[in-house]
Homo-oligomer: A and B are copies of this chain.
Amino acid sequence: MSSSEVHKVCLPPYKTTIQKLRHGLSEIFFPDDPFHGFKNQTWFKKLVLGLQFFFPIFLWAPNYSVKLLRSDIISGLTIASLAIPQGISYAKLANLPPIVGLYSSFVPPLIYSVLGSSRHLAVGPVSIASLVMGTMLSEVVSPIDQSILYLQLAFTATFFGGVFQASLGFLRLGFVIDFLSKATLVGFMAGAAVIVSLQQLKGLLGIVHFTSKMQIVPVLSSVIQHKDEWSWQTIVMGVGFLIFLLTTRQISLKKAKLFWISAAAPLASVILSTILVVLMKSKVHGIKTIGHLPKGLNPPSSNMLYFDGPHLALALKTGLITGILSLTEGVAVGRTFAALKNYQVDGNKEMMAIGLMNMAGSCSSCYVTTGSFSRSAVNYNAGAQTVVSNIIMAAAVLVTLLFLMPLFYYTPNLILAAIIITAVVGLIDYQAAIRLWKVDKLDFLACLCSFFGVLFISVPLGPAIAVGVSVFKILLHVTRPNTVILGNIPGTQTYQSLNIYKEAQRVPSFLILSVEAPIYFANSNYIQERVLRWIREEEERIKSNKENELRHVILDLTAVTAVDTSGLDSISELKKLLEKRSMQLVLANPVGSVMEKLNHANMLESFGPKGLYLTIGEAVSDISFTWKAQP
């Protein structure tokens, strides 16, 4: 390339403020352009597409076949065998009557099968949301002494959670859940799993008076304080079933084909333990059982929603937190299995589906539900093809509700504790934590923060801590961006970090710096100081090596993806400071939005054609050429 060939740096095509605003809003709310299929279609076709868009059932129902049905029946029955014992257990975890767990495995899956777009999601109560709801509500209202109020608050929180979820989806604010980063979720889930498991010692040891607190210290001290209440019969039986369940889990983990072993184990344990208790009931007394459960379908509960009164704020808060947690789980599970089978799940649509299903649930005696990771995995492994497996599961729950409830009378509580522990153990993903440590220390730190935050501060605060840590990470990166000194790679027009590329060479009398962040109010002072320090250090180096004096400082703006007024002020000031020291500040390769801002701030004129280049290479060759041509 000859030194005279210089390309002009162009401004982006002119757009009015309204156009920019429209573009910006469409990127924020419709980045996936969800209605692109609707363009250039007839009126009728648009109607059909619209129906399919809002009710995905219309997408797959016309092509549904007997073959698909067979797969769905098998997988539906499999997850039902998991959903029934887990439903009862998780309701217990939320301090709700066990029957509510079954109700919640009946209505929501039916609603989801109409609205949901994931083919593998198994819908029902989940451990984390149950735990958080139980903790938050029972801190204020006693589930035993004020059981009606407690139930009202649980349904109301579910309703608010559903409204929140559906509005996030409807307003296309789905990206909000992205702020619960995977790294912090790993820590949060592990912390919650530890707390839940320790809480289950109540059932497993047969303790009657247990703390309702959720931090690790009161839970552990409660276990030790009530040593006199430990019941050896409960312990023997509980630990026995726990070992059985954990073993079946381990087997299924080793061989994915044997998934049915761990899927069938909970129901088998329930049946077996119930028989055992019935057989021994005249001899052994320490073992507590579930007791009477009412037969029949979900009673309506819309009259129990609680829209004013002293606890409204509590219901709202609980709804928001359980809502966002269950949403995160549901959407993540949906995305995971969609990626495995190579289809797309629209996050915002899923949120609307989950939200509507919870709103409907809150009016039919259900508490908060979502897609469960463990049951969805079983569903996937059992060969589920469509959401019909959820319908089959709901049918199985229906049969249970109508006819089988008396059978649970002698089911011991300890088996529920064992089922919960087995389920939450899977939430402790130590391999993911190790990977975080290996790949990204800051992510690992975020993970640790939310883990210990949950253990020692509070479970419901966990997501807040997680979000806080994640946002702090972003701000740290923006506040202290990297600046790199570049050199030319001989024989090319490429400039790369001197520190990384040993063949890269300094250009005499030039200092070429790359700023690796947008220049913002939060870092404009820092960048200015840091650039001045680079110049000072470079001058010291030049002095000790007796090289050519430093004359030109090139700022490579390739990675400066945005700039605000503070950033522009900093650049201007830097230019003036350098001019006072008879050095020239040159900008290279500003992106479109930065060029626009430079233009609006009238800085293009002050830099002039010799102060702004498309590439570092052109800047260096053109300036050297001009410089040499001078006398």
Q: Name A residues whose Cβ lies closer than 8 Å to a Cβ of B.
A: 1, 5, 7, 10-13, 17, 20-21, 27-28, 31-33, 36, 175, 178-179, 181-183, 339, 342, 347, 435-436, 438-443, 470-471, 473-482, 484, 489, 491-494, 496-497, 499-502, 516-518, 520-526, 529-530, 533, 536, 558-559, 561-562, 564-566, 568-569, 573, 576-577, 580, 591-593, 595, 597, 600-601, 614-615
A499 contacts B592, CB within 8 Å?
yes
A441 contacts B183, CB within 8 Å?
no
For the complex with contacts A27-B480, A179-B521, A183-B566, 6 further pairs of A-B residues with Cβ separation under 8 Å are A31-B533, A178-B526, A181-B566, A438-B600, A439-B601, A496-B614
B521 contacts A183, CB within 8 Å?
yes
Residue of B nearest to A558 (CB): B558
Other-chain residue from B178, B435, B520, B530 in contact with A31 (beta carbon distance below 8 A): B530
B566 contacts A474, CB within 8 Å?
no
Q: How far is the CA of A502 from the CA of B453 in the complex (A)?
A: 53
Residue of B nearest to A496 (CB): B614
Other-chain residue from B475, B493, B561, B592 in contact with A517 (beta carbon distance below 8 A): B561
For A492, the chain B residues whose CB sits under 8 A away are 1, 7, 493, 615
For A600, the chain B residues whose CB sits under 8 A away are 438-440
Q: How far is the CA of A208 from the CA of B225 in the complex (A)?
A: 64
A179 contacts B522, CB within 8 Å?
yes
For A1, the chain B residues whose CB sits under 8 A away are 492
B475 contacts A11, CB within 8 Å?
no
Q: How far is the CA of A477 from the CA of B475 in the complex (A)?
A: 12
Residue of B nearest to A529 (CB): B32
B470 contacts A475, CB within 8 Å?
no
For A517, the chain B residues whose CB sits under 8 A away are 561
Q: Given contacts A342-B577, A443-B565, A558-B558, are A32 and B479 in contact (CB under 8 A)?
A: no
A522 contacts B438, CB within 8 Å?
no
Instruction: List 25 interface pairs A-B (beta carbons < 8 Å), by A numbering.
Output: A10-B501, A11-B500, A13-B499, A20-B441, A31-B533, A33-B533, A175-B480, A178-B526, A181-B520, A183-B565, A439-B568, A440-B600, A443-B565, A470-B521, A470-B522, A471-B471, A471-B475, A474-B475, A477-B518, A477-B562, A482-B561, A482-B593, A492-B493, A492-B615, A494-B614
Other-chain residue from B481, B518, B533, B615 in contact with A32 (beta carbon distance below 8 A): B533
Residue of B nearest to A502 (CB): B10
Q: How far is the CA of A517 from the CA of B558 in the complex (A)?
A: 11
A440 contacts B11, CB within 8 Å?
no
For A559, the chain B residues whose CB sits under 8 A away are 558-559, 561, 591
For A481, the chain B residues whose CB sits under 8 A away are 561
For A440, the chain B residues whose CB sits under 8 A away are 564-565, 597, 600
A615 contacts B577, CB within 8 Å?
no
Residue of B nearest to A563 (CB): B440
A480 contacts B31, CB within 8 Å?
yes
A103 to chain B, nearest CB (A): 33
A569 contacts B499, CB within 8 Å?
no
For A593, the chain B residues whose CB sits under 8 A away are 482
Nearest first, the 5 closest Cβ-Cβ pairs linking A and B are: A181-B521, A516-B561, A559-B559, A439-B600, A439-B601
A522 to chain B, nearest CB (A): 5
Residue of B nearest to A524 (CB): B178
A614 to chain B, nearest CB (A): 7
For A27, the chain B residues whose CB sits under 8 A away are 480
For A516, the chain B residues whose CB sits under 8 A away are 561, 591
Q: How far is the CA of A492 from the CA of B5 in the complex (A)?
A: 10
For A526, the chain B residues whose CB sits under 8 A away are 31, 175, 178
Q: Given contacts A342-B580, A523-B178, A593-B482, are A476 and B28 in contact (CB under 8 A)?
A: yes
For A529, the chain B residues whose CB sits under 8 A away are 31-32
B7 contacts A564, CB within 8 Å?
no
For A441, the chain B residues whose CB sits under 8 A away are 17, 20-21
A182 contacts B569, CB within 8 Å?
yes
A266 to chain B, nearest CB (A): 31
Q: How far is the CA of A497 from the CA of B499 in the complex (A)?
A: 29
A54 to chain B, nearest CB (A): 20
A12 contacts B561, CB within 8 Å?
no
Q: Given contacts A1-B492, A33-B533, are A474 and B474 in contact (CB under 8 A)?
A: yes
Q: How far is the CA of A470 from the CA of B478 in the complex (A)?
A: 12
Q: How far is the CA of A524 from the CA of B526 in the complex (A)?
A: 27
Q: How far is the CA of A32 from the CA of B568 in the complex (A)?
A: 21
